[in-house]
């Protein structure tokens, strides 16, 4: 199952390789012992192409996949020119051609999805020129099928791009609070370990500040204005590189590397916004839940007043 945080293209490429290797190798290996000579050539060629392309897919994920698909189509064209029964005993030439045309349609669909318009068009021309042209009216109908398969692949190509763009936009919305412009609790969870690692590597303290707006506004508009004012004060009070997050309706927190006390933050806040409380805790080595729990305990110990700023450092 695709995780929400996982991008679509890497997942689709893994799906392709899992399918191509499992199905392809399962069909190719038996042909080495029981297949006709042409089937053995096809099996060896496919296995060699897979052995070369799959390791390269880690360095060049898109290029290796497209090259593997083109190689498979080339093998298919070669196989379609072989004598009757040289691929599968008992099949006549027309059966081989129809099966090959069906596989080509599937290949063009997948190639259009991963390679885009020009790669798909190049493969379509290659198939039209390279595949045999028997005197059969029904066989000529596979060309529109190839074109339709390529168009379906292109639609998937564009659809996945749009879906990824929508997913990224939703992620931005989930990580940014629209009312205040600050980051959200989800962003705090994502950033906390990174801040811990940065503080540990630089051997500096990491301070978590907790800001609470304590007021009883006369209207929602008044409340929203107070929240926006507090968010602006917080942005002005912090240093570059600090993180600021909105947790709940009127609760905020910040991450500050290199601070052991929030006195300076409290002083800046007291000059601009007295309708708030501020507590802090040095959280090196603490989980996010432990750090927030300590700030909650400090907050409850602090004297609360609608017009008084309370600052309580870690004991």
Q: Which of 144, 172, 200 is the last residue of a domain?
A: 172
Looking at the fold, whether 159 and 265 belong to one and the same domain comes out as no
Give the range of the structural domain holding residue 68, as residue numbers without chain letter.
8-172
* Exposed / middle / buried, residue 61 (Cβ in 10 Å: 0-12, 13-18, 19+): middle
* Structure-model confidence comparison of residues 82 and 298, the more confident one: 298
Task: Judge if 147 and 237 occupy the same domain.
Answer: no
146-169 pLDDT, tens digit per residue, is 777 777 877 888 888 787 776 666
3-class DSSP state for residue 37? helix
- Provide the token pair at 160: 């996945």
Evaluate whether 120 touches 154 at the Cβ level (below 8 Å).
yes
Alpha-carbon dihedral of residues 159, 148, 61, 80, nearest 10 degrees?
170
Distance CA 276, CA 256 (A): 19
* pLDDT tens readout for residues 207-226: 998 888 766 555 566 666 66
Q: Are residues 304 and 202 in the same domain?
A: yes
Whether residue 44 is contained in a domain is answered as yes
Residues 85 and 126 in one domain: yes
Residues shown for the chain: 315
Average per-residue pLDDT for the chain: 76
Whether 67 is covered by a domain: the verdict is yes
State both tokens at 217.
């506004």
Q: Above 60 in pLDDT, residue 83?
A: yes
CB 287 within 8 A of CB 198: no
CATH number of the domain that residue 192 is part of: 3.30.70.270
Does one domain contain both 236 and 115?
no
pLDDT in tens, 28-65: 888 888 777 777 888 899 999 999 999 998 899 989 99
DSSP 252-298: EEEEEET-S--HHHHHHHHHH--SEEEEEEE-TT--HHHHHHHHHHH
- Residue 250 DSSP SS3: coil
Task: Please check whether residue 3 lies inside any domain of the structure.
Answer: no
DSSP class per residue in 110-178: HHHHHH-HHHHHHHHHHHHHHS---S-HHHHTHHHHHHHHHHHHHHHHHHHHHHHHHHHHHHHHHHB-T
Q: Is residue 178 part of a domain?
A: no
Task: Say yes or no: 131 and 191 in one domain.
Answer: no
Query: Does 86 lie in the same domain as 54?
Result: yes
Residues 62 and 133 in one domain: yes
**Is 5 a residue whose pLDDT tops 50?**
no
Task: Name the 3-class secondary structure at 187.
Answer: helix
Residue 180 maps to a domain: no
Q: What is the pLDDT of residue 299?
A: 80
| pLDDT at residue number 315 | 32
For residue 48, the model assigns a pLDDT of: 92
Among 172, 193, 219, the domain-final residue is 172
Note the pTM of the prediction, 2 decimals.
Answer: 0.52
Q: Given this model, what pLDDT does residue 237 score?
A: 62
- Mark whether 137 and 64 lie in a shared domain: yes
Question: Do 87 and 212 belong together in one domain?
Answer: no
Q: Is 4 helix (H, G, I), strand (E, B) or coil?
A: coil
- Does some domain include residue 139? yes
Which residue's entry shows tokens 């609760």? 251
Question: Domain check: are 119 and 220 in the same one?
Answer: no
Residue 96: band (very low, low, confident or very high) from pLDDT cuts 50, 70, 90: low
**177 lies in some domain:** no
Residue 96 in domain: yes
Q: Are 269 and 276 in contact (CB under 8 A)?
A: yes
Last residue of a domain, one of 172, 204, 219: 172
User: Domain count of the chain?
Assistant: 2
48 and 139 fall within a common domain: yes
């Amino acid at each position: 199952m695709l995780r929400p945080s996982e991008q679509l293209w890497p997942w689709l490429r893994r799906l392709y390789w899992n399918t191509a290797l499992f199905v392809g190798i399962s069909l190719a290996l038996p042909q080495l012992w029981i297949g006709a000579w042409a089937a053995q050539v096809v099996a060896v060629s496919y296995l060699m192409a897979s052995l070369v392309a799959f390791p390269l897919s880690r360095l060049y994920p898109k290029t290796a996949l497209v090259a593997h698909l083109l190689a498979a189509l080339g093998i298919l064209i070669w196989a379609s020119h072989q004598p009757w029964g040289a691929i599968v005993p008992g099949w006549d030439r027309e059966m081989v051609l129809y099966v090959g045309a069906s596989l080509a349609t599937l290949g063009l669909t997948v190639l259009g999805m991963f390679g885009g318009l020009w790669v798909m068009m190049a493969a379509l021309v290659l198939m039209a020129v390279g595949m045999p042209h028997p005197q059969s009216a029904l066989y000529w109908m596979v060309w529109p099928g190839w074109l339709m398969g390529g168009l379906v692949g292109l639609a998937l190509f564009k659809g996945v791009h749009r879906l990824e763009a929508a997913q990224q936009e939703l992620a931005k919305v989930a990580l940014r609070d629209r009312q205040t412009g600050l980051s959200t609790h989800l962003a705090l969870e994502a950033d906390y370990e990174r801040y811990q690692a940065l503080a540990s590597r630089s051997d500096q303290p990491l301070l978590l500040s907790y800001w609470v707006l304590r007021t009883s506004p006369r209207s929602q508009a008044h409340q929203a204005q107070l929240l926006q004012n507090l968010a602006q004060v917080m942005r002005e009070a912090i240093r570059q590189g600090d993180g600021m997050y909105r947790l709940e309706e009127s609760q905020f927190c910040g991450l500050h590397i290199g601070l052991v006390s929030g006195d300076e933050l409290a002083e800046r806040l007291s000059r601009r916004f007295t309708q708030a409380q501020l507590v802090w805790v040095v959280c090196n080595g603490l989980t996010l839940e432990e750090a927030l729990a300590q700030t909650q305990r400090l907050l409850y110990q602090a004297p609360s007043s609608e017009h008084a700023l309370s600052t309580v450092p870690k004991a």
